[in-house]
Amino acid sequence: MYIPKFTITNKILKEIGRVEASKEIIENAPLVPAYEAKFRDEAIIRTVHHGTHIEGNPLNTGEVAAVLEGREVEAKDRDVQEVLNYRRVLAYIDKRRTTNDKRQNVSEKDLLSIHRLTVEKILAPNKAGKYRKTQVVVKNSKTGKVSFVPPKASEVPTLVRDFMAWLSEKSEEIHPVLAAGITHYVLAFIHPFVDGNGRSARALATMVLFARGYDIKKFFSLEEYFDRSAGKYYETLQTVSNQKAESLSDRDLTVWLEYFCQGLAEELAKVRGRVQKLSLDLKLKGRTGQLVLSERQMKLVEYLESYGSISNRAWRSLLSKFSDDTILRDLKDLQKKGLIKKKGSTKGAVYVLK
């Protein structure tokens, strides 16, 4: 059985702490169903776009959205098919999540199904969802230089099954984010297929998160983080893969897990910010009927939501680029709208939400 090797560093602890904090806020945010659906749809588009773009697909976000909506775009058939296929992969993951309990085992069958969907109409049927029978290499797309030589084809089935045994029997002993990160690295290292390995590895890692209660309303896209830092992404994978180690279990995954945890933490922090702002918008609309607040006023109200009150010193620091007269006008307007009230004398005054 495969046994992962890594160290729980302060950075990993910090990033998982950020993940947990964002998860709590996102999952408990008072959003109406229409906004939740919008966030999920946007995450799907971003995941499909960035998940295929990192592999060289040239379609931009707008074109990906058009393809997913069934509209025609000027693009190569293969590029369009990759987009459609990855959307079907996400649908497969979602279906498995909703038809099983959250502690479902992610299996070898899931990996093969995900790969088959990933390369449908791109690879020959006898290669879709089938382990490779030949040696493959990973090359730098810019220089053409071989950057990594995966294991021999004859070793693939055993390596995958050894890993899957750990995933189903032992991985629940560690945090789900670490289990997902390990899944991603191991499959990228084994490179079990002739094509579609990156997409399959990222998809199965996402499936591990979803299966263990970390779908986080399906608002996030790890693929976006990887694509936007593609150089660092491949460099970090290669750093681990190029270690002088006799076996897969001997490779120290620490640096990769630090990068993976940071990626999820940063992606969820962005989602958290959007969710908090929208939650506040909806809350204020409920109080005022028609919400018309300036950007400065929104910052003031967000501060009050977070800290309960704001003093003269605090608002001067928060909006340091603006004059006292401007901010005082904003505060008076918020009082007229019935959103806040003033407590205390002029110099020692504080403002609180009503």
**Is a pLDDT exceeding 60 seen at residue 288?**
no
Q: Annotated catalytic, 191?
A: yes
Which helix (H) or strand (E) segment holds residue 82: the answer is: helix 77-99
In this structure, the answer to whether residues 185 and 328 fall within a common structural domain is no
The closest of 215, 218, 208 to 186, measured between CA atoms, is 208
pTM given for the model: 0.81
**Is a pLDDT exceeding 90 seen at residue 165?**
yes
Dihedral sign (CA 96, 97, 99, 104) = positive
In this structure, the answer to whether residues 113 and 52 fall within a common structural domain is yes
> 174 lies in which domain range?
10-275
Q: Please, which residues have CB within 8 angstroms of residue 217's CB and are 6 or more apart in sequence?
A: 26, 27, 36, 39, 40
CATH number at residue 106: 1.10.3290.10
In this structure, the answer to whether residues 183 and 141 fall within a common structural domain is yes
Q: Which of 50, 53, 175, 191 is catalytic?
A: 191
CATH number at residue 346: 1.10.10.10
The last residue of a domain, from among 275, 310, 326 = 275
Q: How many other β-carbons are positioned within 10 Å of the β-carbon of residue 78? A: 11
Residue 282: what pLDDT? 62
In this structure, the answer to whether residues 91 and 167 fall within a common structural domain is yes
Which residue in this structure is represented by tokens 């640096």? 255
d(CA 270, CA 266): 6
The two structure tokens encoding residue 331: 């505060």
In this structure, the answer to whether residues 254 and 299 fall within a common structural domain is no
Which residue in this structure is represented by tokens 């490179």? 191
In this structure, the answer to whether residues 254 and 311 fall within a common structural domain is no
Q: Are 340 and 352 in contact (CB under 8 A)?
A: yes
In this structure, the answer to whether residues 101 and 210 fall within a common structural domain is yes
At residue 287 the predicted structure's pLDDT band, cuts being 50, 70 and 90, is low
Q: What is the helix, strand, coil percentage profile of the chain, to 5? A: 65, 5, 30
In this structure, the answer to whether residues 114 and 167 fall within a common structural domain is yes
In whole numbers, what is the pLDDT of the chain averaged over residues?
89
In this structure, the answer to whether residues 232 and 310 fall within a common structural domain is no
The 10s digit of each residue's pLDDT in 10-24 is 999 999 999 999 999
**Is a pLDDT exceeding 70 seen at residue 100?**
no
Residue 285 lies in a domain: no
At residue 349 the predicted structure's pLDDT band, cuts being 50, 70 and 90, is confident
Determine the angle formed by the axes of helices 254-288 and 230-241, rounding to 10 degrees: 150
In this structure, the answer to whether residues 156 and 299 fall within a common structural domain is no
pLDDT above 70 coverage of the chain, percent: 92
Residue 151 lies in a domain: yes
Residue 45: what pLDDT? 95
Residue 283 lies in a domain: no
Q: Are 130 and 223 in contact (CB under 8 A)?
A: no
The closest of 140, 136, 130 to 149, measured between CA atoms, is 136
**Is a pLDDT exceeding 90 seen at residue 255?**
yes
Buried b (16+ CB within 10 A) or exposed e, 1-35: ebebebeeeeebeebbebbeebbebbeebebeeeb
At residue 290 the predicted structure's pLDDT band, cuts being 50, 70 and 90, is very low
- Beta strands 138-139 and 350-353 are unpaired
The 10s digit of each residue's pLDDT in 186-222 is 999 999 999 999 999 999 999 999 999 999 999 999 9
Residue 19 lies in a domain: yes
Average pLDDT over residues 337-352: 81
Residue 281 lies in a domain: no
In this structure, the answer to whether residues 87 and 210 fall within a common structural domain is yes
The closest of 202, 216, 181 to 114, measured between CA atoms, is 202
In this structure, the answer to whether residues 235 and 312 fall within a common structural domain is no
DSSP-derived secondary structure for 97-137:
HHHS-TTPPP-HHHHHHHHHHHTTTTS-TTTTTS--SS---
Which residue in this structure is represented by tokens 């400065």? 296
Tally the domains of the chain: 2
Residue 286 lies in a domain: no
d(CA 62, CA 53): 13
The 10s digit of each residue's pLDDT in 102-146 is 456 899 999 999 999 999 999 999 999 999 999 999 876 556 778
The 10s digit of each residue's pLDDT in 291-320 is 566 778 878 877 887 677 888 888 888 898
Side-chain-side CA neighbours of 286 within 13 Å: the count stands at 9
Buried b (16+ CB within 10 A) or exposed e, 135-163: ebebeeeeeeeebbebbebeebeebbebb
The last residue of a domain, from among 275, 302, 334 = 275
Residue 1 lies in a domain: no
